[in-house]
Amino acid sequence: MATTRAKSGKLSDSTARNNVEAPVTDDLNQPPPVDAQTTVARDGEASILEGLNAHGKKKRGSASMNQGDNIVDLDPEDVYSLADLKDSLSARREKARGERIRPRGEPYYTNETCNLIIDQQNCLKFGRPNKEFLNWRWKPDECELPLFDAVQFLELVRGKSLALLGDSVGKNQMHSLLCLLTKVAYPEDLSDRYYTDTSYFKRYFYPDYNFTMGTLWAPFLVKSIESDSNGYSPNSQMNLYLDEPNEGWLNDVEKFDYVIVSAGQWFFRPTMLHENGSLIGCSTCKYDNLTTFTPYYAYRKAFRTVFRTLLGLENYKGVTFLRTFSPSHFENGAWNEGGNCVRTRPFAREELKVDQYIWDMHSPQVEEFRVFEELGKKRGLEFKLMDTTEAMLMRPDGHPNFYGHSPHRNMTLADCVHWCLPGPIDVWNEFLLYFLRTQQSSLDGKTIEV
């Protein structure tokens, strides 16, 4: 059944990439205005409780949701205080720490063995001379991450479905997974059967395993509409409706058994922010008569809306993964000021200098995740954290830079946001397989050595 394209679907993948990096300025790194802080869920239970109750009441009567009574109200007693999360969040973040090692063996695939790599990430095809970036693999500090096993993955997802909900970096992960699975099977592309716009929404099917995989395009996660009076440009203004999920994914998400939610760089463009049907202010903007919010405020609210919506959908029974913020590595200038990413080796941990904005993006999404992870337990829904931020911070060598091509891409702009295939992003699917193995082990009552 065909569905409509996301409200932001007028923007091409190449546009997403050209728009990807915010200049790290003082404006972006300021905290939200004082009158906004109580709605950023930094004051604990009261603020998020207010938001959950307001949202539950609105959804029941909102015609734009196209779901009606399928959305379940949240019980105020279920709310888990954010104030109680601080210590556990710090402790859990440590588990994502690790270092790079040089592994043995060849990459899982190449551009010659996998014909599903899109040109935007096909760095070897377009002449990247240095291949050392293929020789490094993430090693978590506290465990040994197993290599990807395509046979095992397809057996674990037999009869199931996986959606990647978000922007073009999420599609980047999907193409990595498609290539990782080619050692066993190639999929059928059924996108035309389901969607009118197959540039943004994809659907693949593995008939021998009855496994479906696809993307749900929603770069802001929430409802978004172009609003720039000067027309579209790589940095034009958007309207964001922070408490309304994007219908492009809302209409399909209940069909999937696993949903990986991610978003990032789009939130740095100029946005007009709406909540409860009213304009509340703007982000990355210069309007004297409007309250100015940081991108982190909108980012937090967008993830809250996604998780709250998934938790409230009566027919959604899937496992929800949060894949955390994927950092860019522009050096020698911003994305639109000559910035590039020419490094050929990973950072060592002692070399790493992290811009504050990266943690300002990482923390809100993880904090919101932890709240709904607890709520999900009471509803019988699983929420899993795929914290890949530090692993990717250490990989400035893994981006296409100028070795990715697209008919719509401005080739004077380097791509230091997406990831070469094969490349560092393949580790995300190693994490995914690890989670699937662990989940199956729990269901079977067995222990799997990893």
In tens, the pLDDT along 322-348 reads: 999 999 999 999 888 899 999 999 998
Q: Please give the pLDDT value at position 186.
A: 97
Q: Please give the pLDDT value at position 103.
A: 65
Candidate from 84-88, 144-148, 409-413 with smallest mean pLDDT = 84-88
Q: Is the distance from CB of 257 to CB of 226 less than 8 angstroms?
A: no
pLDDT, average across residues 394-407: 92
Output the CA–CA distances (angstroms, integers) from residue 60 to 65, 78, 342, in the order listed: 9, 19, 51
Domain edges within the chain: 78-444
Q: Which residue has the higher pLDDT, 144 or 269?
A: 269
What residue spans of 313-425 are helical by DSSP H? Answer: 356-379, 389-393
Q: Is the pLDDT of residue 378 over 60?
A: yes
Question: How far apart are the C-alpha atoms of 262 and 358, rounded to whole Å?
Answer: 14
* DSSP character string of 396-416: GGGS-BTS---TT--TTS-B-
Question: How far apart are the C-alpha atoms of 238 and 248, rounded to whole Å?
Answer: 17
Instruction: List all residues 6 or more positions away from 417 whose beta carbon is below 8 Å from its beta carbon.
Output: 17, 20, 21, 169, 265, 326, 328, 335, 399
If you count DSSP H runs as helices and E runs as strands, how many of each does the chain have, helices first?
A: 12, 14
pTM of the model: 0.80
Output the CA–CA distances (angstroms, integers) from residue 132 to 102, 107, 331, 345, 365, in the order listed: 10, 11, 20, 7, 33
Per DSSP, 340 falls in state B
Q: Which of 55, 274, 329, 418 is catalytic?
A: 418
Q: Is the pLDDT of residue 80 over 80?
A: no
Q: Which of 243, 252, 415, 426 is catalytic?
A: 415
Residue type, 258: Y
Annotation says 415 is catalytic: yes
Annotation says 55 is catalytic: no
Q: Please give the pLDDT value at position 104.
A: 57
Q: Is the pLDDT of residue 356 over 80?
A: yes
Q: Please give the pLDDT value at position 17.
A: 31
Annotation says 441 is catalytic: no
pLDDT, average across residues 260-281: 96
pLDDT, average across residues 32-60: 31
Q: Please give the pLDDT value at position 349.
A: 80
Q: Which of 8, 14, 161, 168 is catalytic?
A: 168
Tell the burial category of 445 from Cβ atoms under 10 Å away from its Cβ (0-12, 13-18, 19+). exposed
Q: Is the pLDDT of residue 124 over 60?
A: yes
What residue spans of 61-197 are helical by DSSP H? Answer: 85-93, 150-156, 168-180, 191-194
